[in-house]
Amino acid sequence: MAAKEHDNDWPGRMTALSHNFTRALCRRPGPDLAAGITNAGMGVPDFNLACEQFEKYVALLGECGLDVSVLEALEGFPDAHFVEDTAVVTPDVAVITHPGAPARQGEQHTIAKAMTEHRTLAKIESPGTLDGGDILMIGTHFLIGVSDRTNEEGARQLGAILESHGNTWQPVPVGAGLHFKSSVNLVGPGTLLVTETFAGRRELADFKQIIVPPEEEYAANTLLINGRLIMPTGYPETRARLEELGQPITELDTSEFRRMDGGLTCLSLRF
């Protein structure tokens, strides 16, 4: 699968990149939350506690300066609150995905309707499959995880759309974890937070890497918003390593979403 390579100035240019968001789109979890797809083996989520955690998440996005729109729960789609998987939103276009799990195909249609007022739309078409949780935007460069949910055809289609708007992209095989961003996330200019599985991978060679301890792998799903890091509660060694970046850090409890294989990045579309 061919990717558009970044230019020769990329290593220096990426250190100046920033993620400045003004809006976010979220969806409330529904009472059928526990019927969603999960391989976590951590028991049934507490719906009321999940709602409390969701409200704190939305409030924190607001504290980061985002104008947050919240959609109501989508009946019949117990994973629909993981809205990140339904679109890839860039400054130029919102690419509506074709989710890799058949049970989730259909969620994206309501997200497309919500995004029409903000972006021109493009779509991933079958036989391509693509989940937003596999896509890491770093300025104008995109890392596209090829996983159980995002196939090579989906990655190729997204890459072509991105190229048409002047972006570059790189496919990254995902051998472990549900999504690429379960294991790799941007935490500062030119800096990635990665699990040991991805440490030293050639696709990530241009980046400084902070490695998450094996016993704290869930903390790799840390979210950078406008210079502020939001990380899951209870991972002290990862926090200590992130503190060396000198950025404000807020911890947030996502225990009930972790039971459903979800995390901080999954719960919103930031743009």
Which burial class, exposed, middle or buried, applies to 28 when counting CB atoms under 10 A from its CB (0-12, 13-18, 19+)? middle
Q: Is residue 109 annotated as part of the catalytic site, yes or no?
A: no
For residue 99, give Cα distances in angstroms to 2, 105, 261: 22, 6, 15
Six-digit token string for 127: 């036989």
Q: Is residue 98 annotated as part of the catalytic site, yes or no?
A: no
* DSSP letter (8 states) at residue 149: S
What's the CA gap between 198 and 61, in Å, rounded?
28
Catalytic entry in 26, 51, 64, 266: 266
Asked if residues 231 and 264 have their Cβ atoms less than 8 Å apart, the reply is: yes
Catalytic entry in 6, 81, 98, 179: 179
Asked if residues 220 and 178 have their Cβ atoms less than 8 Å apart, the reply is: no
Residues recognised as catalytic: 179, 266
